A and B are shown apart, each in its own frame.
Chain A
Amino acid sequence: MLTIRRRIFAALAAGGALAALLLVSACSNGGSAATPTSQTGTPAATGTSPAATSSVTPPTNIGKDDKAQVTGAGSTAIFPFLSKIADIYQKDVAKGVSINYQSIGSGGGIAQFTQKTVDFGASDIYLSDKQMQDIGAPVLNVPMIHWAVAVTYNIPNFKSELRFSPSTIAGIWLGNIKKWNDPAIKADNPNVSLPDLPITPMHRSDGSGTTMNFTSFLAGTSPDWKSKVGAGLSVNWPQGPGGKGSEGVTALVKQTAGAIGYVELSYALQNNLPVGAVKNAAGNYVKPTLQSTTDAVAATVATAPADLRFLIVNPPASHPDAYPIGASTWVLLYKDYPASKSSEVKAMVHFFWWAIHDGQKYATSIDYSPMAPDLVKKVEVALKSITVGGQPVLP
């Protein structure tokens, strides 16, 4: 008995020593990371060079002396982008700024932002008038990333590329178009021989911005869809199975002969699923790409309201190559923050300023579409309007 007890004690002591050792080494690591100040100069300098080319005041390397912990919460869709550029920002621009983002979903993000427990929120849908009223203080909805919602399908031994008009897509998900050789699909694809195979439309079972924009697209183009289903982060689907997450829908489409689904473009590409071209307002069938989505942003932004609350679905015909089903995530910011929050808000606004300029080049590497230049200008105006204790943050 005694020997066992002694052994346990010895093990505990050893464990404690190990923990202490780790603690010491962690501290020394932290110290060493802070010491070589000479290194900070170089990456920051490379960060400035592209800024010179874009003709904007203030310069994009502002904020390199900021020190703050910025907290945010919300959308899961924006998380890969935010975490990537926050890393790069901390490494290349401002060593002292860390962005702590919890990707808990848009609903949680709005709730935390409303209760002011975070500095910024992020949501796959902009705040409604009522939600803005409930908050009781002026709020900015700033679009930050854009992506395409692709229509993907699984028809065995079928190599042709399919094209869809909006009414065909609505008809398929409403259950009016039941087979792949339906006249409506034939009309969109006159030179393709289509099989006599039942269509199984799949949807996202979890609430998502992808569903929001897909259903908004259908509600905007099909009166039938608008009256029967409507648009939302999750809707009452007339039929068909639902998969959890883009990966769930992708799996369902891959497994089911005759299936059709809608997913973020990146999922379809990574899984080698075919994507359909969709007819836009100009009457062209356009395939989803990063460029055709940026075109959609450019087409929409011209007529967009100044408060930046707009969807990039059914863009006007001004850009003939715009893909008509785009999605966005908005960053939610207060127009005025209390003076006590000064250092956090400065760091945060500087970070987002960097994100819409230099940060955009990292968007394409993770399959988001870069912001259209016209939108960047509008977001600049929004960011410049932010004040801390009544004082503007940006010059």
Chain B
Amino acid sequence: MTAAPYEPGRVRALLARRRPGFGEPIFRIVVLLAALTVLATIIGLVVTMTVESRRGIAHNGWSFLWTSTWDQVRQVFGALPFVYGTVMTSVTALALAMLVGVGVALFLVELAPAWVARPVGFMVEMLAAIPSVVFGLWGIFILAPWLQQHVELPLHQRLGWLPFFSTYPTTAVGNFAAIVVLAIMVLPTVAAVSRDVIAAVPRSQREAALALGATRWEMMRLGVLPYARSGILGAGILGLARGVGETMAVTMVIGNSPTITLSLFKQGYTMASVIANEFTEATTALYRSTLIEIGLLLLVITLLINVGARLLVWRVTGGQPSGGALQ
């Protein structure tokens, strides 16, 4: 279809034809209900999960949040290693994904000719559609062993004095593999949103910078990125949300060992993974309840991250509306 030519008569005709009546209030109620559905879902989740986890909460107490023994045989439960694993892997993965993702976005919008930008942009979006269990299978059978031989071993040999690389990578699975798989999974979100945000920066910004004699890079740094920063942050928040909640792929490559370590080559554990691993065979009521408590904690942490990110965007933009932003 070609764009419809502007016809002032059509709008006028429509307005003239309408009948005064219930249309307006019905529309209002429909959209209000749509908004309430989201609210009700979140409240419902919090309420049912709190009720289901009350046995665990009563047994575990507050120390659940800062102890690190996870022993269902003796019924001693501490969630700290899982919280640490979730936050550590998803934040590191996001940092990696932001570096690459914003680079991809800048390249696609500012540098690539259309015949490159379109197929590459399409492929980036395709990456987001791959199911996470496929990433997990690919991770455990292909990526993790490759990383172990070609990235982890050289890093350990050259930079082994750093605490991050201090462990000899005996097994392919571990924090490092999990971070790389997560980064790949988060990348399309970051890249696609950043691309749209950068593309929305007005031409006048670029032209002004170029007219002052800026180079390509200076034009991007001075004209484009400051304008798009709140939108790019928004892309990061979306990416982080995906990273925090990711379950299957991480479970398959992280090694599932509840330890708190700086070493990227050791095994870790995340909150989503422990639920996925242990919920199906949790045969006692307290154990089940405690796993639901982990789920509740994950929900709370996700909410905190979102609130924090919203505040960050606010600070960065100084409360002022900015062009190309998501908010």
Contacts and interface: CB of A to CB of B under 8 A. Distances in A.
A259 interface: yes
Max chain B Cβ within 10 angstroms of own Cβ: one of A107, A131, A209, A248: A107
A244 B278 CA distance: 10
Given A107-B288, A252-B171, A76 B72 contact: no
B276 to A, nearest CB: 8
B283 A107 contact: yes
A105 B171 contact: no
Given A241-B255, A241-B256, A242-B267, A234 B171 contact: no
B280 interface: yes
Given A236-B70, A241-B171, A244-B252, A108 B140 contact: no
Size bracket, chain A contacts:
35 or more
Interface string A335-379: 000000000000000000000000000000000000000000000
A237 interface: yes
Given A207-B278, A232-B72, A236-B70, A256 B172 contact: yes
Nearest to B255: A241
Nearest to A231: B73
B141 A106 contact: no
Given A235-B72, A258-B170, A106 B251 contact: no
Nearest to A205: B256
A239 B278 CA distance: 18
B280 A242 contact: no
B140 A123 contact: no
Contacts of A104: 280
A107 B171 contact: no
B255 A242 contact: yes
Interface string B279-297: 1111111011000000000
Given A244-B277, A259-B171, A251 B73 contact: no
Interface residues of B, number: 34
Contacts of B24: none
B60 interface: no
Contacts of B188: none
Contacts of A106: 280-281, 283
Interface majority SS (helix, strand, loop, mixed), chain A: loop
B281 A233 contact: yes
B170 A105 contact: no
Contact of A107 (B69, B144, B277, B281): B281
Nearest to B285: A134
A88 interface: no
A288 interface: no
Interface string B11-39: 00000000000000000000000000000
Interface string A192-212: 000000101000011111000
Contacts, number: 107
Nearest to B281: A207
B281 A234 contact: yes
Contacts of A205: 251, 256, 273, 277
Contact of A207 (B170, B252, B282): B282
Interface string B42-67: 00000000000000000000000000
Contacts of A76: 280
Given A106-B281, A125-B283, A205-B277, A230 B257 contact: no
Nearest to A258: B170
Contacts of B170: 198, 200, 256, 258
A297 interface: no
Contacts of B277: 205-207, 234, 242, 244
A244 B171 CA distance: 15
Interface in B127-167: 140-141, 144-145
A382 to B, nearest CB: 21
B7 interface: no
Interface in A99-143: 104-108, 110-111, 123-125, 131, 134
Interface in A210-238: 229-237
B174 interface: yes
Contacts of B285: 134
Contacts of A256: 170-172
A133 B255 CA distance: 37
A231 B72 CA distance: 10
Interface string B170-202: 111110000000000000000000000000000
Contacts of B145: 255
Nearest to B144: A255
B77 to A, nearest CB: 10
A240 interface: yes
A243 interface: yes
Given A242-B256, A244-B252, A251 B141 contact: yes
Contact of A234 (B251, B276, B278): B278
B181 to A, nearest CB: 14
B74 interface: yes
Query: Which 6 pairs of residues, A with B, have the shortest CB-CB distance?
Result: A105-B280, A207-B281, A205-B256, A242-B256, A236-B71, A241-B255
Given A106-B280, A131-B283, A234-B281, 9 more contacts: A107-B280, A107-B282, A108-B280, A198-B170, A205-B277, A207-B278, A207-B280, A230-B74, A233-B283
Interface of A: 76, 104-108, 110-111, 123-125, 131, 134, 198, 200, 205-209, 229-237, 239-244, 248, 251-252, 255-256, 258-259
5 contacts: A107-B279, A110-B283, A207-B278, A233-B281, A252-B171
